[in-house]
Every structure is written in C-alpha cells, then in structure tokens.
Amino acid sequence: MRKRPLAAATLAVLLTAGCGGSGSSTQAPPAQAADRLQAARDAAVRAAGGEKPGGTLNLLGVLSGPQLDAYLGTFAPFEEATGIEIKYESTGDVFAVLQTRVAGGNPPDVVSNPSAGQVAQLAEQGRLVALDPFLDMAAVRADYPEGLTGLSTVDGKLYGVFYNTAVQGLVWYDPKTYQGPKPPASWEELAGWAQRTSATGTTPWCIGLESGPSSGWPGAVWIEEFVLQQAGPEVFTKWWRGELPWTAPQIRQAFERFGAIATDAEQVSGGPTAVLTTDFNSSPQGLFADPPACHLHVQADFLGNALAQTVPGVVAGTDIDFFPFPPVDPARAGSVEISGETLALLKDTPQGRAFMRYVTTPEFSALVAGTGQWIAANRRTPLDAYSSLLSRRAASVYADAKTVQYAAQNAMPLAMTQAFLKAVLAYVEKPSTLDAQLATLERARAGAYEG
C-alpha cells in the first residue's frame, strides 16, 4: 500500500516549482523582518539544547533558482545559531536519487520530499529515523492537522514533518468581470450560476490539462475535490489507499461532475479539445482576455500571485481573487486538500535532531510564510508573516479547515497515479468511455497496491 510514485513526486515539483507559471517567473524572496529572524535564531538555540554543535547537514531536495534561495534563507538563522552548515543537493528526480543513495548505503542526512508516500515507504523499510523520541509530540499534534501527520506515521511513530503546503482546488476569478456568488454556499449554487451563464452564450470555465508527462493532473484535482466535498474524508482516504473500488458510486459521481464541465463546449472555453491541449499555465489567462474567455478557473493558492507577476496590469486581490472549492454536501464545508513537501531524517545525529526540532517551530514557519512562496504547514504560523493578501487568505483557509487531506494523486502508488491521469484524459476525449475507464482503473488497483 505504501509504494509511492516518481510521477507523484514529479507532479508536486510542477506544483511547487512551477507556481502556476514558469519557474523563471518566481520573484526573489522579500526581506524577512529582523524580529522574525531573531526569533528564529532563538528557536534554533532551543532546538540545539542551548549548544552550538557545528558540523554539516546534507539536505536532498528538488528546488532551484529563486525558490531555493528562499528556502535556504529560512535555514540561515539555524546555521548562525548552531554553527551547523546545511549543504543542499538539488535534483529534478528526488525519488530516484534518494532510492539509489539509500540502496547504496549513502543516504543524505535529511530529505525534503514532495512525495509523502515515499517517506512512508522508506519508514516501513526501516530507512528513516523516528522523530517521536526527541520532538515535542504534543505540540506537533496541536500544530499540524492529522491529515498530514498521519501520512508520515507508521506503526504509531512519526517519520516526517511538512514544512510547506499549497492549498488545492481554489476557484479563481476576476472581481471586475465575475458576477456569480462569492463565495457560493454549495456546488449546486455555483453550478446553477454557471448553467444560467452558459445559456446566455457566456462561457463560465477555463480548464487546461496539458502538463507534459503529468498531463491530466488538473482534472484529477477536480475529481479529488468532488470526492472530498461530496463523500467526505473517510471515503477520500479509503480511495487513495486502494481500499475503495474505482467503480464505487462516489468515484463515478466525481468523474461525472467533472465531465459535466470539461466535456461541455458551453461550460468550458474551447470545449474538450481545448481542455486537452491547453497548458495548465496558459488556461487561467483566459480570465483576462478581452472579452474574457471564461470567468472561473480551479487552481492552487499560488495562482493569484503568479498571475500578478506574469500578466501585465493584474494586481493580486484587485484583479484576481478566489474562494474555496464549494461543498457538494453542505456537511463537508471546511474540507481542504493540499500538496506540500515533507522533511524526513535518514541519519540520527545531534545535527539532524536539532534541525528537525527547529523546522517544527512556529518561528521557522513564520520565515516560510515570509518568503512569499508557500503556505507554512504549521497552523500556528501568524498570518501577518505572509507578505501578500492572497497568501494570508489562503493560509486562513488552511488554518481554519475542519479537515485537511493530502492530494490523492500524490499519495497513490506510481502505477495508480499514472492510470488515473491517463483515465482523466481519455474520459475528456470520449465521455462515453467512462465505464471502460473506471474498469481499467479498477484492474490497475488490483496490482498497484501489492506489497
């Protein structure tokens, strides 16, 4: 059940490094406030037990460019306070590199991994260091949602801690042109507005599924949201764990709700052909066409800031705004799906223990928020640490969520993830094949979760 994907890792890299635009469009991190930097140094001193152990810490991860600069900046107070030098090794294929190094007896000290599934797999293999003996577990349980800590818990022990998140499934719009409910109380209300709007000749939605080898993932996000917002977290968890048939009515209904938009030329800009061929970076720009090609777009929390960086004249909060994906069942209000990276320890050293204590503190998370790149995973992160209005609002959605679930496509085994994305594309291309697609996914489930 815990075999996890290269494809899922690649997807998360696209989500975090791409930030809804090209990596080159990511702005340099803003300067951190002096008082937050000092608070982080103080937290690092406490994490090291008041000592300055020195030495080095090898950290393997996927980031590069401005995002890596921002990431390393959050560790600078730790290095200053403890004398521990962090050496970051960047790779575009963290899944394969980590597996190779572990198998060769040369693992890094710490990995920053966009696949929580791989972390769980390594924990089950006895390759990771359990964090419970030296972390304040009461604080961890209070500060992180169970939907995240549970992913890295094996046999009752914690093996990984999320440092960042991206809130998935937000519905984006231009406040100057969108005249629908903000926010809608339910999916039924939003779908009703979209149906009435399309009847007047105005297209409500833009969707783009093209993303190279990970094409289809934006549609998978839609389906995941429908499963979560309609059936709830228990069904959602059983689904990604492989304990629920793909032919179950909850999964079929989620596909059908997505298909009612993505395969309807009146509902989505360009019709299904454009859905299949439009790059996921380009599709939201339809919000700002003249006249608008659409009025709504589903994407993660980084989209608004990315559009403000890449589309001339777009101001975050003025020209682009969002509301959370509305519940299909009103009882599911407050359910949020996220992606993110997990930090896991592969060598038990004083340096590694101090580092893992540091990254669980709200002082460290305040620096993560202050980079302008991510939502911090620690829900005790102060909202005023965020440098943009949209980031603060997304952080509030995450912090106030009744339930938080990790992206199903990032948690499924590699074979299941690949089959899922392929089925999304095939369904949009030919909706009449839904039964066949679900049957194919069910056959894939039979083998994907072995071992």
pLDDT of residue 449: 86
Q: Is the pLDDT score of 77 beyond 50? A: yes
Of the candidates 337, 146, 154, the one whose C-alpha atom is nearest the C-alpha of residue 231 is 337
pLDDT of residue 90: 95
Does this model's pTM top 0.95? My answer is no
Q: Is the pLDDT score of 410 beyond 90? A: no
How many C-beta atoms surround the C-beta of residue 73 within 10 A? 17
pLDDT of residue 21: 30
pLDDT of residue 28: 54
pLDDT of residue 24: 31
Task: State pLDDT tens for residues 166-211.
Answer: 999 999 999 999 999 999 999 999 999 999 999 999 999 999 999 9
Provide the pLDDT confidence category of residue 115 given band limits of 50, 70 and 90: confident
Average pLDDT, the chain: 91
Q: Measure the CA angle with vertex 48, ends 47 and 50; round to 5°.
A: 105
Three-class secondary structure of residue 136 per DSSP: coil
**Cβ proximity of 269 and 205 under 8 Å:** yes
Cis amide linkage into residue 382, ω under 30° from 0: no
pLDDT of residue 5: 33
H-run or E-run covering 39: helix 34-47
Phi/psi at 53 (5° precision): -70, -25
Task: State pLDDT tens for residues 322-339.
Answer: 999 999 999 999 999 999
Q: Is the pLDDT score of 9 beyond 70? A: no
pLDDT of residue 174: 97
If one compares 95 and 377, the residue with the highest pLDDT of the two is: 377
Order of strands, edge to edge, in the sheet holding 321-323? 297-299, 170-173, 321-323
Q: Is the pLDDT score of 222 beyond 90? A: yes
* Dist. CA 211–CA 81, nearest whole Å: 42
Query: Which residues, 6 or more positions from 289, have their beta carbon under 8 angstroms from its beta carbon?
Result: none
Task: State pLDDT tens for residues 421-442.
Answer: 999 999 999 999 999 999 999 9
Number of helical (H) and strand (E) elements in the chain, helices listed first: 19, 14
What percentage of the chain exceeds 70 in pLDDT? 93
Task: State pLDDT tens for residues 272-299.
Answer: 999 999 999 999 999 999 999 999 999 9
* Dist. CA 99–CA 95, nearest whole Å: 6
Beta bridge partners of 343: 112, 161
Q: What does the block give as tokens for 290?
A: 């003249």
Q: Is the pLDDT score of 301 beyond 50? A: yes
DSSP codes, 76-108: HHHHHHH-PEEEEEE-S-HHHHHHHHHHTT---
pLDDT of residue 29: 58
pLDDT of residue 451: 55
Buried b (16+ CB within 10 A) or exposed e, 378-411: bbebbeebbbeebbbbbbebbbebebbbbbbbbb
Domains along the chain with CATH numbers: 6-166+338-407 (3.40.190.10), 168-337+410-448 (3.40.190.10)
Buried b (16+ CB within 10 A) or exposed e, 130-161: bbeebbeeeebeebbbebbbebbbbeeebbbb
Q: Is the pLDDT score of 64 beyond 50? A: yes
Provide the pLDDT confidence category of residue 151 given band limits of 50, 70 and 90: confident
Phi/psi at 142 (5° precision): -80, -35
